[in-house]
Amino acid sequence: MLDIERYIPHRPPMRLVDNLVSETPQQVVTAFSVDRDHVFFDASVAGVPTWAGIEFMAQTAAVWLGLADERAGRAIAPAFLISTRHYTVTQPVFAVGESFQVAVEVALQEEQIVSFNGRVYSSDNAKGYLAEAVFSAFRPDDAEAYLAASEPPGLSRW
């Protein structure tokens, strides 16, 4: 099984996707499950609110970007979520004890901007998609300079 950790800059508890299910040059599918230890677990809804679905999609897109970098013979470079459009959900929660898949495909790639179509499904796909979005990522030439320029004055790195 491919170790996706090298493609996602997040580490537990913020790394939300667990493993790669499949990949092609245009699409990546990852999987995740929800338990009570999940960083976004909300006991009042017995799961993870579906508003978190965009982060599952963004981390899956990071896997696609890393794989694309490797296929092109480049070093893996970070990207930053910059926009989300048409985020829709069909239920309010990713329920505890369930497993899910996240499918992300490239919609448009132009220089430093990559747009994706993403969907979250239950692993058995019995309910159709549970969340979907169109979103874009920005890949700056110098990620450290980009982060430094984005940092509010007086805020020190944690």
What residues have CB less than 8 Å from 105, skipping those under 6 apart? 26, 27, 28, 116, 117, 118
Span 64-118, pLDDT tens digits: 999 999 999 999 999 999 999 999 999 999 999 999 999 999 999 998 999 999 9
Is pLDDT above 70 for 157? no
When the pLDDT of each residue in the chain is averaged and rounded to a whole number, the result is: 93
Q: Domains of the chain, with CATH numbers? A: 4-150 (3.10.129.10)
Span 120-129, pLDDT tens digits: 999 887 778 9
Query: Which residue has tokens 């893996």?
Result: 76
pLDDT given at position 125:
75
DSSP conformation class of 85: E
**Model confidence, pTM:** 0.92
| Inter-CA distances, 157 with 139, 150, 151, 152, Å | 21, 12, 9, 10
